[in-house]
Chains A and B, each alone.
Chain A
Amino acid sequence: MVPIETSGLTKYYGDLCAVDHLDLSVGNEIFGLLGPNGSGKTTTVLMLTTLLEPTRGSARICGFDTRDEAQEVRRQLSYVPQEMAVDVKLTGRENVSLFAKLYGIAGRDEAVDRALGMMDLSERADDLVRTYSGGMRRRLELAQALVHEPKVLFLDEPTLGLDVASRRRIWDHIRTLRSRGMTIFVTTHYMDEADASCDRVAILDRGRVVAMDSPAALRARVGKDVISVRVTGSVRGPFPEGIEYLGGRGDGEAVFSTDCGSEKVPLLFRWLEERGVTVRSISVHEPTLDDIFLALVPTREDGYGFDDHKFRTMLRRR
């Protein structure tokens, strides 16, 4: 049984297309949905968790249709939204216990203890959540989601607003869950995290999948090395042979890909200086998902055709 399967999944808000013919098939893996703000990540998650009706197309969770068998779909999954929604006036245990009760779990107390223990919250379980740190609150949400041992776990930006140590810890937990056979569908815009932990990622741009593969395979697409140059002045092609321009980032950074970075650096440097571009720094590194992203998703300045009004309509209706 395929844990998550969509075919032609489409969502329109008025005439704005938020998700455009999404075809996914997710197995027992950590699947990352990446994309800039407003690219349709959350809309996708809401449709998969039965909270939003697709305009067209369909989605199945463990074989159940999200539209016609919503109740059964909800039995298979847990959903942790972006907002950290835990009751601060209740204790950690009370928060988890509420979900255990709502799921109607047999052997409730043990299940609650187990979920709290799995997230390393046993010691603080009887303290009010008011006294918890951001990382602990997020782990508490995971404990709530795990208490009924779902087959599929949806996490919308699970590490948003957390410090580095807390993020690492959340990802450690997510990987442990995967090793126990759970399917995890996660949205994020932290490329490094997706790179390190996801088995496969899909990059979403304006509702459309522009790439879907394992992080390693995606990185291999760009070439062996990436040269990142910080310049004063504007960079324009055509570029020298064997060097491909991936795109520009803020602060005058231009990113190129090539097959042997260290040898191409002098060439690129001369080429830029000849065109009156002052080079402030050059670095060579292995491609990261960030670079792939830059190559696949044009930034707004690059003629995105960005419609501010539509964008805000979408954010509001997300």
Chain B
Amino acid sequence: MKEIVYYFERDMLRWLRGRVSVVSALIAPAAWLIFVGLALPTTFSEHYIDFITPGILVMTMLGVSLQGGSLLVFDKILGFLNKFLALPSSRESILFGKILFITTRGLIQATVILVLAWALGASLFSLPVVLLSYGILALFGVLLSAFSTTIALYLSDHDSYAAFNAMVSMPLFFTSSALMPYSVMPPWLSAIAYWNPVSFAIDAIRSLQEGVIAWTRIGALALLALLVVAFCVRKFRRVTI
């Protein structure tokens, strides 16, 4: 189990020492919140910033988690993965180290958004709501980073990974309930959006704002995360080069 922390430390140190990546990670989600949250003309909500904040939070986790798979792609291309796989420590700790790092980095970015949303006048944030939101975001981050890291295990170069990322991230985001409520979606979209895991997380956080804990959405997210992580652990244990 300690190995997970060691792999995490390595990624964290490397990230923190690349100043550009840290600055970019903090500015990019802010830009989304400001431009989308304040600029988009909306008719279904008087206080769009309240509505959009959960969407941007989950979108950031989505982007960060899918992007995070490239960490493993580079470890693989540069020869680190071979060295790690030849170690006696358990192989799934490589996976869990990545999940921990990617999710932590996502939560740091989520914090930037929460602070900014609060500064921009978003209401409805109490301490329990914020804490539970972090929990939901962490769960979502675990799901997506496990998925992306395992996909990375099977792709041999960064171009293929970027192609995979582009193919997955945009459709997942735009077919979710991030930008508009189900009531204003065309029926075909609302059906897809309802079953999109991205919406599980967004809906759960929105319910929190209204003072409701949406157990079915959280449960669906947790179940999916559990299944995906279990699958990924199996893959990591058996992987050969």
In the complex, chain B residues whose CB is within 8 Å of the CB of A85: 78-80, 82-83
Across the interface, which residues of B come within 8 angstroms of A53, CB to CB?
240
Q: Judging by beta carbons under 8 Å apart, are A51 and B241 in contact?
A: yes
Determine whether B130 belongs to the interface, using a CB cutoff of 8 Å to chain A. Answer: no
Docked-complex contact A71 and B88, CB < 8 angstroms: yes
In the assembled complex, how far is the CB of residue A128 from the closest CB belonging to chain B, in whole angstroms?
Answer: 8
Chain B residues with CB under 8 Å of A78's CB are 86
Known: A89-B17, A103-B87. 11 other contacts (CB 8 A): A46-B240, A46-B241, A51-B85, A51-B241, A80-B83, A85-B82, A90-B14, A98-B10, A102-B6, A103-B88, A316-B156
Instruction: Report, nearest first, the 7 A-B pairs whose CB atoms are least far apart.
Output: A83-B79, A85-B79, A79-B86, A74-B88, A75-B88, A89-B17, A81-B79
Are A102 and B13 in contact, with the CB atoms below 8 A? no
Question: Cβ of A50 and Cβ of B14 under 8 Å apart?
Answer: no
A contact residues around B82 at 8 Å (CB):
46, 51, 79, 81, 83, 85
For residue A51, which residues in chain B have a CB less than 8 angstroms away from its CB? Answer: 82, 85-86, 240-241
Q: What residue of chain B has the Cβ atom nearest to residue A51's Cβ? A: B241
Known: A51-B240, A51-B241, A52-B240. A94 touches B87 (CB 8 A): no
Say how far A75's CB is from chain B's closest CB, in angstroms: 4
A282 to B101, CA, bound (A): 64
A-B contact pairs, 10 of them (CB 8 A): A74-B86, A79-B83, A83-B78, A85-B78, A85-B82, A101-B2, A101-B6, A103-B87, A104-B89, A316-B156
- Contact (Cβ within 8 A) A103 B89: yes
Q: Say how far A185's CB is from chain B's closest CB, in angstroms.
A: 13
- Mask of A58-83 contacts with B, CB within 8 angstroms, 1/0: 00000000000001101101111111
B41 within 8 A of A: no
Interface residues of B in 227-241 (CB under 8 A from A): 240-241
Report Cα–Cα, A99/B156, bound state, in Å: 25
- For residue B14, which residues in chain A have a CB less than 8 angstroms away from its CB? 87, 89-90
- For residue B171, CB closer than 8 A to chain A, the reply is no
Residue of A nearest to B89 (CB): A102
Q: Please determine whether A90 and B13 come into contact, CB atoms closer than 8 angstroms.
A: yes
Check A49–B86 contact: CB distance below 8 A: yes
A196 at the interface (CB under 8 A from B): no
What mask results when residues 61 to 94 of chain B are scored 1 for a CB within 8 Å of chain A, else 0? 0000000000000000011101111111100000
Residue among A78, A82, A85, A144 having the largest count of chain B Cβ atoms under 10 Å? A85
CA–CA, A215 to B78, complex, Å?
33
Q: Chain A contacts of B86 at CB under 8 A?
A: 49-51, 74, 77-79
A71 contact set on B, CB distance < 8 A? 88
Residues of B within 8 Å of A50, CB to CB, are: 85-86
A217–B156 Cα distance when bound, in Å, is: 42
Chain A, Cβ-Cβ closest to B239: A51
Contacts of B156 in A (CB 8 A): 316
- A72's nearest neighbour on chain B, judged by CB, is B88
A81-123 CB contacts (< 8 Å) to partner B: 81-85, 87, 89-90, 94, 98-99, 101-104
- Contact indicator A94/B13 (Cβ below 8 Å): yes
Question: Closest CB of chain A to B105's CB: distance in Å?
Answer: 15
| Residues of chain B with a CB closer than 8 A to A144's CB | 83
Residues of A within 8 A of B6 (CB): 98, 101-102
B77 to chain A: closest residue by CB = A83
Kindly state whether residue B128 has any CB partner on chain A within 8 Å: no
Collect the chain B residues with CB atoms within 8 Å of residue A77's CB: 86
CA A85 – CA B82 in complex, angstroms?
9
Task: A83 to B14: give the CA distance in the assembly, Å.
Answer: 19
When chains A and B are docked, how far (Å) is the Cα of A101 from the Cα of B83? Answer: 14
Q: Of B13, B83, B89, which is within 8 A of A89 by CB?
A: B13
Q: CB-CB contacts of B197-241 with A at 8 A, as 1s and 0s? A: 000000000000000000000000000000000000000000011
Q: What are the interface flags for B1-28 relative to A under an 8 Å C-beta threshold, 1 for contact and 0 otherwise?
A: 0110011011001100110000000000
**For residue B9, which residues in chain A have a CB less than 8 angstroms away from its CB?**
98
Tell whether, in the assembled complex, residue B18 and residue A89 are in contact, meaning their CB atoms are under 8 Å apart: yes
